[in-house]
Amino acid sequence: MKFTSCIFAFFLILFYSNCKKPDHSQEMILQEKIDFMGDCNTILGILGNIREFRKKSSDSLLQETLKLNRIAKKQEELTEIWKGKRIFLRSAELVGRPRKISNLDKLNINISEFLIEEYTVTHPLSGLDGFYVISDKNDLSKKEFLQVRIFRLLKNSDPSVLEIHERTPLEGKIISVHYDGGQNRNPNLFESIYVILE
């Protein structure tokens, strides 16, 4: 009888230990990581394989010319593929509150006419305006920084009525996509992706 009671008590303890409330802080940290990784994959998915044609310091003049031509062609394809498509980011970070900015010639769109918010995709604790991408699958320690700048054009010109969040889901229709940085041989210069949303 005593042995049966001990077994019952043991299973009762196991049951309640498995039913205890989860650590919400740990859950939040895990969810942030999942959201961050998902957003990184979204951005890299937009870029496709354009990063494979980055110039290297070891490239010959012919290789350099071929890569520049491939990047230019891929850049046109990026705009054709993504213009008008909608994207959703789970945890975009606000880095620039509603304001006017000067025109970015490389985007071929005059965004100085609009009030805009600027976002990025980055790890919650990094303080950066982008994330690191593994550059060598055989050596995971080799990483390159990808700057992410996302501009959302605002229809309402009064920022006082906008609901501002430091980190928030972000959805919008793509107007323009631009990749920059693959044309540089200097390893200290980082790559950038610019995405304009409405």
* Structural domain includes residue 30: yes
**182, 63 Cβ separation under 8 angstroms:** no
Q: Average pLDDT for residues 26-47, to the nearest whole number? A: 92
Q: How many helices (DSSP H) and strands (DSSP E) are in the chain?
A: 3, 6
The share of the chain scoring above pLDDT 90, in percent, equals 31
Tell me: the pLDDT tens digits for 104-141?
666 777 777 778 889 999 988 888 899 999 877 777 78
* Structural domain includes residue 5: no
Q: 């945890």: which residue's tokens?
A: 91
Residue predicted with more confidence, 165 or 162: 165
Number of domains in the chain: 1
* Structural domain includes residue 15: no
* Structural domain includes residue 12: no
| pLDDT tops 80 at residue 24 | no
Q: Which domain holds residue 89?
A: 24-197
Compute the chain's Rg from CA coordinates: 23
Residue predicted with more confidence, 140 or 146: 146
| pLDDT tops 50 at residue 150 | yes
Q: What tokens appear for 12 in the block? A: 């009762």
* Structural domain includes residue 188: yes
* Structural domain includes residue 10: no
The reported pLDDT for the residue numbered 10 is: 40
CB burial of 164-174 (b: ≥16 within 10 Å; e: otherwise) equals: eeeeeebebeb
Count Cα atoms within 13 angstroms, Cβ side, for 162. Answer: 18
Query: Among 14-23, 47-56, 94-103, 179-188, whose mean pLDDT is lowest?
Result: 14-23
Spatial separation of the C-alpha atoms in residues 87 and 91, rounded to whole Å: 12
